[in-house]
Amino acid sequence: MKLILAVLLILPFAIQTILPQEKSYLNLSLNDCITLAMENSKQKQIASTKIEVSKSHLKQAESGRWPSLELSSKAFIQDEPQNFIFPSSTFSFPPLEINLPPQDIKLLDNKSIMTDLTLVYPVFTGGKISSIIDQVEHSILISQNNLALTENEITLNVKKAYYAVILTQQLLKIGSDAFERFEATYHLTESLYQTGSGTVSKLDYLKNKMSLESFRGIVSELGSKNSVANSALKYYLGLSLSSEISIKDSSLEIEYLTPKEQETLNELLSTNLYLKNLDIATNIYNAKIDEAESDYYPSLALFGNYHRLDNSYDYGFATDKNKNVFTLGLGLQLSLFNGFRTAGKVEENEAELKGLQFQKVFVEESLKMKLTQLLTELKKSDDKIVSSKEAMIAASENRDLNLRAYQNEIGEVADFIEAQIMESIMMAQYQLALYERTELKSQLESLLNKTN
């Protein structure tokens, strides 16, 4: 019995130890969320591996500047030894004349091992090697830039999700507060109706009940939206959906001064990552043109070779001098005519370069239009925030006045219900205006490559 009791006491602790426990992420600031997303992002890990791939390509390209040393060896058996047939000949020694028949001369034994050690060092390639290295170096820059683009995208997604959580929390609070007020009003109306004071009719009672139940459904819907927003934030942070999470900020009232257009435009053209990628791609195609034009020039290389022959025969071709041979020389290769292939490669890369230049102009114009649109929307959101805040304050005052009038039995219940609904709507509109500005601000920061 004691053993069973001990097992029952220990079992819950053992289960907690064995089963994986979900971590809690509480009171997270926006910067905490961005840092967490960067650590867990699979997209960032993929982009980082692309940099490693590009660096390995650079090692391969730089190998062209170094001498290459290759060893090859083969052992073989032939069906018969190699030979050489010396033709018949006649020697005259007056008054004698000697006729020699064809001679079968053995050159090698049928079993051999041939080994070659070859060294090649490029002296001049017309700029081909350096242009290839230049292309790969710039491809590393593109990979690094793509990593920055990925981080930019992660930051923007986290900001949107973070602010969405705050928005849904605020809307849920507005809905819950309104529901509590409607519930209190409903009980007051119900009491007045049941006592038969004559100031509240059955129609007033039913209107209050209908409004109460409507807000009950609205609060439930807002709670669901808040859960969805929290799940989206967990997703962008790379957390399990069962993880416990809470955020530090609870207000969207962030101080923000809309920047001036010209200053922001200059910053945009100097920091935008898409424009940087186009600049890097332009350099790559310039290097591709150099690589293609290198075919117009000769290639020079120093080469050396050691040849060893292992064969049991010591005569014919298998003499000591032929068994160990050293060779040193200078090689030249020049394409005299290749059917205009080189000219075609140059023209192709020049056309690609021209296309990139047009593309850059198009992207710059698109970015300018996007910037103008964002700044215009930001200014409009500033005005919207001011007006919606004034409307919210007025709606709150109107609700207070109607509440006092209703409590003193000098106001209509319909007016009080309308006042409560309008207050909730105005408060929600104010929060939506604040959220709209935070989203526009996040988009502008993303456009300017600001990841914090």
Exposed/middle/buried for 190, CB within 10 Å: 0-12, 13-18, 19+? Answer: middle
Indicate where the chain has its CATH 1.20.1600.10 domain(s): 126-298+338-452
Tokens of 340: 């205009």
What is the homologous superfamily of the domain 126-298+338-452 according to CATH? Outer membrane efflux proteins (OEP) (1.20.1600.10)
Contacts of 49 (CB under 8 A, 6+ apart): none
Residue partners of 79: CB distance under 8 A and separation at least 6: 110
- Using a 10 angstrom Cβ sphere, with 0-12 exposed, 13-18 middle and 19 or more buried, the burial of residue 408 is exposed
Give residues with Cβ within 8 angstroms of 340, minimum separation 6.
Answer: none
pTM of the entire predicted model: 0.80
126's torsion region: left (phi>0), alpha (psi -120 to 50) or beta?
A: left
Return d(Cα 303, Cα 276) in angstroms, integer.
43
Of 404, 396, 400, 402, the closest CA to residue 423 belongs to 396
Per-residue pLDDT of the chain (452 residues; tens, 9 = 90+): 555 545 445 555 544 544 445 577 899 999 999 999 999 999 999 999 999 999 999 999 999 999 999 999 999 999 988 888 888 888 777 777 788 888 888 888 999 999 999 999 999 999 999 999 999 999 999 999 999 999 999 999 999 999 999 999 999 999 888 888 877 777 776 776 676 655 666 776 677 777 777 878 888 899 999 999 999 999 999 999 888 999 999 999 988 888 888 888 988 888 899 999 999 999 999 999 999 999 999 999 999 999 999 999 988 888 888 999 999 999 999 989 888 999 999 999 999 999 999 999 999 999 999 999 999 999 999 999 999 999 999 999 988 888 788 777 676 767 777 888 898 899 999 999 999 999 999 999 999 888 66
* Token pair recorded at residue 360: 């850059």
Distances (CA, A) of 337 to 68, 295, 303, 348, 444: 28, 10, 25, 19, 55
